[in-house]
Amino acid sequence: MTIATRAITGLRRLLDGLLFALVAVSLGVVLLGRVVPMTGHSTLVVAGSSMGAAIPMGSAVILDQVPPPSLAVGDVVTLRSGADRAVFTHRIIRLAERDGRVWIETQGDANATPDPSLTSTDAVMGRVGLFIPFAGYMLTLYSAPSGVIFVLSLGMVLLVLGISLEPQSARRTDTKAGPDPYPEVERGPLVLAMASDREAWIPVADRLNAKDVVRASRERRARHASGTPTSPRRRPKG
């Protein structure tokens, strides 16, 4: 195998790997964005870095729906707060009761101070049950029509490049036919007769039983050993 052939083979394997990764990522995005919400678990994208290394920016979080009494200090929750109903994901650092309702105080792990106001548990969208780093970037990409077009175009380019390299990376074999070892045998339906240490191909004009095949093979060997020209033997019909 030449250096050029090895390079082409390696390039094609790389393209196949990239195409496989693209398909796998696409299936993962469909799972997170479409299938998971059907099970009652919301999937959201973390757009800020307030949670630091605990939940990096660009992560996809899967929320568990829990009743307010089940919330506890240390839980990471996603909630809506403020006049603009901004959505953010922070950790509960304190529970407080006001007018018979439970309120929570939250703070981002990377923030130096708590959030400026208490939030009612009614504003909690869910508790973070699972997060996947960087998966939010892919969810954002696939949520836009331009992103879907980009992914489809990329997949098509990888597929076309892989197909174009296939003939060059395939092993070439010699297709020249060698001399016919049995030129006197008429081509047609053949029967392979096993005769001691060699094989002989015998044309079949009509039905031959096992004894006829073995006898014809031995006669052919004898004529070949004595130098007598051989000719195909045909069993008379009728």
Among 38-52, 120-134, 157-171, the minimum mean pLDDT is found in 157-171
* Dihedrals phi, psi of 57, to nearest 5 degrees: -60, 140
Tens digit of each residue's pLDDT (9 = 90 or more) over 16-33: 999 999 999 999 999 999
Residue type (1 letter), 160: V
* Dihedrals phi, psi of 94, to nearest 5 degrees: -160, 145
Say what the pTM is. Answer: 0.62
> At 128, is the pLDDT very low, low, confident or very high (cuts 50, 70, 90)?
very high
What stretch of H or E contains 126? strand 124-132
Assess whether pLDDT exceeds 80 at residue 98: yes
Mean pLDDT score of the chain: 79
Assess whether pLDDT exceeds 90 at residue 44: yes
The residues that bridge with 80 in the sheet, in sequence order, are 87
Average pLDDT over residues 118-123: 89
Give the tokens for residue 159.
Answer: 């597929």
Average pLDDT over residues 176-187: 48
Give the pLDDT of residue 99. Answer: 79
Assess whether pLDDT exceeds 80 at residue 184: no
234 Cβ contact list (under 8 Å, min separation 6): 203, 205
As a whole number of angstroms, the distance between CA 192 and CA 210 comes to 11
As a whole number of angstroms, the distance between CA 171 and CA 182 comes to 30
Tens digit of each residue's pLDDT (9 = 90 or more) over 66-81: 998 889 999 999 998 8
Average pLDDT over residues 162-186: 55
As a whole number of angstroms, the distance between CA 92 and CA 132 comes to 21
Tens digit of each residue's pLDDT (9 = 90 or more) over 196-235: 444 444 444 444 456 666 677 778 777 777 765 555 555 5
Angle, vertex CA 115, rays to CA 40 and CA 133, nearest 5: 45
